[in-house]
A = this chain, B = another copy of it.
Amino acid sequence: MKDTDDKLTSRNIKPTAMRELVLDILTEQKMAISLSDLEQKFHKSDRVTLYRTLKTFEEKKLIHSIDDGTGAVKYALCKETCQCHPEELHVHFLCLKCQHTFCLSDIPIPSINLPVNFSVENINMVVKGVCSNCKD
Partner of A124, one of B96, B125, B130, B131: B125
A131-B110 Cα distance, complex, nearest whole Å: 20
Contacts of A118 in B (CB 8 A): 93, 127, 129-132, 135
* Minimal beta-carbon separation of A46 from chain B (angstroms): 23
Counting CB contacts under 8 A, is A8 at the interface? no
Contacts of A21 in B (CB 8 A): none
Q: Are B132 and A117 in contact (CB under 8 A)?
A: yes
Q: Given the interface contacts A67-B67, A67-B69, A112-B107, does A120 sit within 8 Å of B126 by beta carbon?
A: no
Partner of A69, one of B117, B124, B130: B124
Contacts of A96 in B (CB 8 A): 121
Q: Are B123 and A125 in contact (CB under 8 A)?
A: yes
Chain B minimum-CB-distance residue to A125: B125
Q: A residues 71-124 with Cβ under 8 Å of B?
A: 91, 93, 96, 104, 107, 110, 112-124
Contacts of A119 in B (CB 8 A): 129-130, 135
